[in-house]
Amino acid sequence: MEFKIDRGCFVRDISLDIIDAKPAVYRWWFDVIPEIVLQGGVNVSLIQSMTVKGVKLYALYVGKAANAKNRLRNHLPRSSRQTFRTSTLRRTLRALLCNQSQSDEECSNIVNQMMTDHAYLEWGYYASDDEAKRYESMYITNGYYPLNNSENIESLKPWTHRMTQLRNKWK
């Protein structure tokens, strides 16, 4: 299933001004896969990859937004005080990259650095939130996105169960 793309760029180059306040589905690509994911039994050969400006990227996460500008604002790195409450992606990255002896501020800096240095974001707009929800579900169930929990394919269930346990340690 072909992913609808209206815009894409490296996170270090994103300005919120280029993101519209419309329903959207977005996909996060990274040029590195956290070691803990690789150790968790994820089959890297099944992860969709592409090369942008000479950088090989792996599609790791798909999400949807009723309002892309507001939703992506929660995901994108902004400050060391950024919360983990409003972004499942950021909570997941914190669980994968940080240890519990680190403060929220330290973890926010680590996650921000990972996203700034290694992430590419693309998104496509949809006519309604319901349409975006349908497409997000189809993309996840027809793809292999190891950082998504809900609706993921059966072969990723052991990993997503482990990832949920890691995230829950931070509650």
Q: How many helices (H) and strands (E) does the chain have?
A: 6, 5
What does the pLDDT read at residue 30? Answer: 98
Greatest pairwise CA separation for the chain in angstroms:
44
What does the pLDDT read at residue 46? Answer: 93
Q: How many other CB atoms are there within 10 angstroms of residue 107's CB atom? A: 23
Containing structural domain, residue 18: 7-168
The residue ranges of DSSP E strands in 93-136, in sequence order, are 119-125
Tokens 């803990």: give the residue. Answer: 36
**Domain assignment present for 14:** yes
Q: Number of structural domains, the chain?
A: 1
What does the pLDDT read at residue 149? Answer: 85
| Strand (E) or helix (H) holding 29 | strand 24-30
The pTM for the full model equals 0.93
**Contact (CB, 8 A) for 121 and 11:** yes
What does the pLDDT read at residue 152? Answer: 83
**Domain assignment present for 2:** no
Q: Give one DSSP letter per residue of 44-81, joined into a string.
A: GGGS-EEEETTEEEEEEEEEEESSHHHHHHHHS---TT
What does the pLDDT read at residue 124? Answer: 98
pLDDT tens digit at each of 171 positions of the chain? 789 999 999 999 999 999 999 999 999 999 999 999 988 889 999 999 999 999 999 999 999 999 999 999 888 887 556 667 778 899 899 999 999 899 888 999 999 999 999 999 999 999 999 999 999 999 999 999 999 988 888 888 889 889 888 888 876
**Domain assignment present for 118:** yes
Q: How far is CA 86 from CA 42, 82, 96, 123, in A?
A: 26, 9, 17, 19
**Domain assignment present for 99:** yes
| CA-wise closest residue to 38 among 26, 141, 30 | 30
What does the pLDDT read at residue 10? Answer: 97
**Contact (CB, 8 A) for 163 and 91:** no
C-alpha–C-alpha distance, residues 88 and 69, integer Å: 16
**Domain assignment present for 1:** no
What does the pLDDT read at residue 1? Answer: 76
Burial of residue 8 (number of CB atoms within 10 Å: 0-12, 13-18, 19+): middle
**Domain assignment present for 83:** yes
**Domain assignment present for 164:** yes
